[in-house]
Chains A and B, each alone.
Chain A
């Protein structure tokens, strides 16, 4: 296994290839519970060997979408194809899909071994092969020595691995993971994230992961699909989602962001200028935006892309002035909350590069915040 989990995936971008055939195709799928629309006209292509994360707050429809892929819910309309086969009405027990449940749903009356063997027995796999596959899988998730234990004798992390092994031993075409790491503590979660990626690469299974944790989605996934109110808001690689959000919602959901509402006062193909009531200077952005002049837009700037200085910046654009209201020391970085004269609070993250820095700005000091013209992302919704 590679030490750097992402290393082998550097050039893995099937979604950029127009000829690539999607492995999972979700076609205009809508799911209604009574009047409530849980999933609203979602169309999504997921490719082989991807780790695709469905990200969203609770109640956004991500779990319902996952359950439709597993076969526990039937779409109200639309179709689901897996490996080219229409799976829309196929019951769960006939799908080449396995799921890892949020609660793990490990059978409490069976040993670890029996849990993992359950699916294979159901398939009617011969005894010798079954023993071998179960043994191999238990070794892969490092549970070999716990084979004879019952679930209540295991820790949360071990139960999670039983659930994973039980799903993977069937060699599914597609593994669905519902909040796979939510029940683990922070250290174990980070460790397990990398383990999941390693296992995924070893077996070459396609993963679809549901999570509400954007950090988890960013570390795990090849691509993220952000959902809100049953709709897919944006699909992209983690860096696309972070650096090129297509709306305020996306920019605010993934990471933290400073959003300045303003009006386009200059709109050229190569640059735009925005006037915002919150800032003393105009915002100059060195790329074009497709929007009508005079329209309300939002400039989104990530906290780490803003600098703090005591001197007034030389540029005419892209700065504001305010008082340091709060400083949070995080170790690797410090977060400054700066209240601009307009009353808007700007969040700035500065790495703590030097160990000794008596000269750092401190509480109640008047400072200037400024940023590079390439930093803001301008969104129109």
Chain B
């Protein structure tokens, strides 16, 4: 039996290797494939790009690295304008989620345990319906003869419908609405475990309730704020469905550009380059925030 034990991995190794294996299979390998395609050249073939390496005349390994796709991204201002616009839209949406989500998470964390569970359920309830369906529902609400415009006209607030659908406004509504739970949940988890005697201590030392909030609650909830913002910001940058359903067709969003390159232009290499660049754009700030969060986590650690 001993030899078996020596060759078989221990239980701990098996358990910890599962997430690594998962990441390897479903993140790293696809990433390498996309990276490979991004250095290739578009071709009318199946698949629609030229191989990165091939055996020339049997013995020579020929590697063709095409940096042209990335150069193209820099040259054509459509791409970087889309990137910047996506980041701007995602940033505003994240801010909107934070401003709405923080009070909600705070109220949930401070409510009585029985109400808390109901509120928590309500916060995740939208996930029970398809995301696509919920975005479609906003079309019904925001269109010119939709619920909102009709209600406002019936009340006499406006004479003719306001153009809401296919504007940036509609995109922001859709984004904030869709991503709000991702902001609330980490914030709630953070605020809920906060030691409330700290607030009493602050009051005891002369802080009015709002001062105690600014000086104690807010800094202590920073890890929750960062986690929530990342969870909203990252998917929001690459968001495709919401701007294409609710937004102005001319709105520059990198997710839409990617879609167009991939499906309409069938230019896989450029689409891959867009994806890689997007990843780099996101990874750097995330790594920075992650480090900041670890630091905050260490500081917040007690005992």
Asked if residues A105 and B198 are in contact (CB atoms below 8 Å), the reply is yes
Are A105 and B197 touching (Cβ within 8 A)? yes
Check A122–B207 contact: CB distance below 8 A: yes
| Distance to closest chain A CB from B206 (angstroms) | 4
Given the interface pairs A70-B204, A122-B206, A122-B207, the reply to whether A107 lies near B198 with Cβ below 8 Å is: yes
Q: Does A144 contact B (CB under 8 A)?
A: no
Contact (Cβ within 8 A) A109 B299: yes
> Which residue of the partner chain, among A101, A123, A150, A152, contacts B206 with CB atoms under 8 Å?
A123
Complex interface residues of chain A between 334 and 373 (CB less than 8 A to chain B):
none
Stretch at the interface among A54-62, A90-98, A299-307: A90-98
In the complex, residue of chain A having the shortest beta-carbon distance to the beta carbon of B216: A107
Q: Check if B200 is an interface residue, CB within 8 A of chain A.
A: yes
Chain B binding site: helix, strand, loop or mixed by DSSP? helix
Judge whether B302 and A151 touch: CB under 8 Å.
yes
A122 to B211, CA, bound (A): 9
Chain A residues, CB < 8 A from B122: none
Q: Mark each residue of chain B from 251 to 266: 1 if its CB lies under 8 Å from any CB of chain A, else 0.
A: 0000000000000000
Chain B residue with the shortest CB-CB distance to A155 = B303
**Which residues from chain B contact A99 at a C-beta distance below 8 Å?**
200-201, 204
**CB distance A92 to B302 under 8 Å?**
no
CB distance from A371 to the nearest CB of B (A): 48
| In the bound complex, CA of A355 to CA of B216 (Å) | 59
Q: Give Cα A101 to B195, complex, Å.
A: 12
Contact residue among B201, B208, B298 (Cβ-Cβ distance under 8 Å from A107): B201
Residue A161 interfacial (CB < 8 Å): no
Do A93 and B203 touch (CB < 8 A)?
Answer: yes
Q: Is the CB of B301 within 8 A of A152?
A: yes
Does B126 belong to the interface (CB within 8 Å)?
no
Binary contact readout A55-79 vs B (1 if CB under 8 angstroms, 0 otherwise): 0000000000000001110000000
**Is B176 in the interface zone, CB < 8 Å from A?**
no
Q: Which residues of A contact B200 (CB under 8 A)?
A: 70, 72, 92, 99, 101, 105
Whose C-beta in chain A lies nearest to the C-beta of B219? A109
CB distance B300 to A109 under 8 Å?
yes
Interface size class of chain B, counting residues whose CB lies under 8 Å from the partner chain: 20 to 34
Q: Does A118 contact B (CB under 8 A)?
A: yes
Contact pick for A119, options B198, B205, B208, CB 8 Å: B205
CB distance from B128 to the nearest CB of A (A): 37
Are A105 and B201 closer than 8 Å at their CB atoms?
A: yes
Find chain A residues with CB under 8 A from B208 CB: 93
In the complex, the chain A residue whose C-beta lies closest to that of B208 is A93
By beta carbon, the residue of chain B nearest A102 is B197
CB under 8 Å from chain B, chain A span 80-134: 91-94, 97-99, 101, 103, 105-109, 118-119, 122-123
B205: A residues at CB distance < 8 A: 93, 98, 118-119, 122, 166-167, 170
CB distance from A105 to the nearest CB of B (A): 4
Asked if B300 contacts A108 (CB within 8 A), the reply is: yes
| Residue in contact with A108 in the complex, picked from B207, B215, B302, CB distance below 8 Å | B302
Per-position 1/0 for B204-239, Cβ under 8 A of A: 111110010001100110000000000000000000
Q: Which residues of B contact A94 (CB under 8 A)?
A: 206
| Interface pair B299/A150, CB less than 8 Å apart | yes
Using Cβ atoms and an 8 Å threshold, which residues of chain A touch B203?
Answer: 71-72, 91-93
Q: Do B197 and A119 have beta carbons less than 8 Å apart?
A: no
Contacts of A70 in B (CB 8 A): 200, 204
Among B197, B201, B220, B298: residue with most chain A CB under 10 A? B201
Chain B residues in 8 Å Cβ range of A97: 204
Q: Which of chain B's residues 131-174 have a Cβ closer than 8 Å to chain A?
A: none
Q: Is the CB of A93 within 8 A of B301?
A: no
Q: From A150, which residue of chain B is reached at the shortest CB distance? A: B299
* Distance between Cα atoms of A5 and B212 in the complex (Å): 37
* Distance of A170 Cα from B204 Cα, bound (Å): 10
Residues of B within 8 A of A103 (CB): 195, 197
Q: How far does the alpha carbon of A101 sit from the alpha carbon of B197 in the complex, in Å?
A: 8
Complex alpha-carbon distance, A98 and B195, angstroms? 19
**Which B24-73 residues have C-beta < 8 A from chain A?**
none
The contact string, 1 if C-beta is below 8 Å from chain B, for chain A 234-255, is 0000000000000000000000
Within the complex, the shortest CB–CB distance from B21 to chain A, in Å, comes to: 35
User: Residue B202 at the A interface, CB < 8 A?
Assistant: yes
Instruction: Give the contacts of B68-85 with A (CB-CB under 8 A).
Output: none
Contact across chains for A93 and B195 when beta carbons are under 8 A apart: no
Complex: A109 Cα to B201 Cα, angstroms: 14
Nearest Cβ distance between residue B293 and chain A, in whole angstroms? Answer: 13
| CB-contacts of B279-303 with A (<8 A) | 296, 298-303
Q: How far is the CA of A254 from the CA of B215 in the complex (A)?
A: 43
Q: In the complex, A118 Cα to B201 Cα: how many Å?
A: 10
Most chain A beta carbons < 10 A, residue from B200, B203, B204, B296: B204
Indicate which residue in B201, B298, B302 contacts A101 across the interface (CB closer than 8 Å). Answer: B201
Task: Name the distance in Å between B302's Cβ and chain A's nearest Cβ.
Answer: 5
Q: Which chain B residues border A109 with CB–CB below 8 Å?
A: 216, 219-220, 296, 299-300
Residues in A whose Cβ lies below 8 Å from that of B206? 93-94, 119, 122-123, 170
Query: Which residue of chain B is the closest to A92 with respect to CB atoms?
Result: B203
**CB-CB < 8 A to A71: which residues of B?**
203-204
Q: Which residue of A lies closest to B212 (CB)?
A: A93
Which residue in chain B gives the minimum CB-CB distance to A72?
A: B200
The answer for the CA separation of A177 and B209 in the assembled complex, in Å, is: 22
Binary interface encoding of chain A residues 155-183 relative to chain B, with 1 for a CB under 8 A from any of its CBs, else 0: 00000000000110010000000000000
Bound-complex Cα distance A72 to B303 (A)? 26
User: What CA separation (Å) do A152 and B298 show in the bound complex?
Assistant: 9
* Chain A to chain B contacts (Cβ below 8 Å), 24 pairs: A92-B203, A93-B204, A93-B206, A93-B207, A97-B204, A99-B204, A101-B197, A105-B195, A105-B200, A105-B201, A108-B198, A109-B219, A109-B296, A109-B299, A109-B300, A118-B202, A122-B206, A150-B299, A151-B302, A152-B299, A152-B301, A152-B302, A152-B303, A170-B206
Chain B residues near A (Cβ < 8 Å):
195, 197-198, 200-208, 211, 215-216, 219-220, 296, 298-303
In order of increasing CB-CB distance, the 7 nearest A-B pairs are A119-B205, A122-B206, A105-B201, A105-B197, A92-B203, A109-B219, A99-B204
Further contacts, 6 of them, CB under 8 A, given A93-B204, A97-B204, A118-B215? A93-B205, A93-B207, A98-B205, A101-B201, A107-B202, A152-B301
